[in-house]
Amino acid sequence: MKTKICSIGEAMIEISNIKESLYNQSFAGDTLNFCNYLDKKKLNAFFLSAIGKSEINQSILEFIKSKKISTKHIKQINQFEVGLYLIKNKINGEKQFFYWRNESAAKQYFNSIDFLKLYKELKNFDYIYFSGITLSIIHISKLNNFIKLLRLLKNKKIKIVFDFNIRPSRWNKKNLNKFFDSVLKFVDICFLSGEDMNYWKNQNNIKSYEQIVRKYKIKHSIFRKNAEITYVFLNKIKHVFKNKLIKRVVDTSGAGDGFNAAYLSNFIVNNDPVLALKAGSSLGSKIVMKKGAIVDVK
């Protein structure tokens, strides 16, 4: 039987800047990107979110289905639309995001649901995946209920996977620290980038990262310090992987999500962090060569 993974977050309309005033419209969102890049031959992928009921929302639903992702846990809400974001890239391919999502269907859904009831939908999964962006659309007043959900899932022996994926415009430091301090106690596997560390801790050296791993007793963690080097800590053993640098990067959007998906897909099957790092690096290097977060990497 295939391993079942449910990714929790927000699907959005993506507008990417192709050149000058030329733009392309697609669909994306960090946790949806992750779902897209999971190896469907080895895993069953599910996406939990909410969208509207208008024509473009139906297009999103069909898009997700076309990627072999189950839409069983996607709710459709009247009078709300999906959020939208625009990507502009610098010459080196690094992205800059502009968001329109404050009244999105997903935000409405995550701030009105009973997280304890949501447990019934999630209790039969093997892995649950969410990110800092998922957390950023949940109001601070709902934090305790979300933590109760994580505790129930953890007690059920479900693996909790968390990608920090911090968007500074979505946080103030007080709320970020409160959320992360509560959430990390339940995390089995976490992904963190050097950018995340710089914003959260104002530094991204390996010693600071090791302190975080020890503090929260995270057994399995992946630290993408920069484009050159990635660390994995697994059961107190440190693995170091040097990535092959890509000379011409087109767009880094979705590359981290693809890395996470390829890493986890490989690790679940092979239980080898080095092989998983190679798989993650390989997929990430293909994604950065194309425009947009969800691209064809065959």
pLDDT in tens, 120-167: 999 999 999 999 999 999 999 998 899 999 999 999 999 999 999 998
Distance CA 49, CA 71 (A): 9
Distance CA 8, CA 219 (A): 22
Provide the whole-model pTM: 0.95
Residue-wise pLDDT for 64-122, tens only, equals 999 999 999 999 999 999 999 988 777 666 777 888 888 899 999 999 998 888 999 99
Helix, strand, or coil (residue 241): strand
- Helix ranges (H only) for the chain are 30-37, 55-66, 105-110, 115-122, 132-136, 143-155, 173-183, 194-201, 206-216, 255-270, 273-287
Kindly report which listed range (23-32, 54-63, 82-91, 218-227) carries the lowest average pLDDT score. Answer: 82-91
By the 8 A CB rule, do 218 and 190 touch? yes
Strands 3-8 and 12-19 turn out to be: unpaired
Mean of the pLDDT values across residues 179-192? 95
Classify residue 271 as left (phi > 0), alpha (psi -120 to 50) or beta.
left
What pLDDT sits at residue 292?
A: 87
Q: Which domains does the chain have, with CATH numbers?
A: 3-287 (3.40.1190.20)
Q: Which amino acid is at 294?
A: I
Kindly report the average pLDDT of the chain as a whole number.
92
Residue-wise pLDDT for 197-254, tens only, equals 999 999 888 999 999 999 999 999 999 998 889 999 998 899 999 887 777 788 888 9
Residues pairing with 44 in the sheet: 4
Q: DSSP for 114-152?
A: -HHHHHHHHTT-SEEEEEHHHHHTS-GGGHHHHHHHHHH
Residue-wise pLDDT for 189-210, tens only, equals 999 999 999 999 998 889 999 9
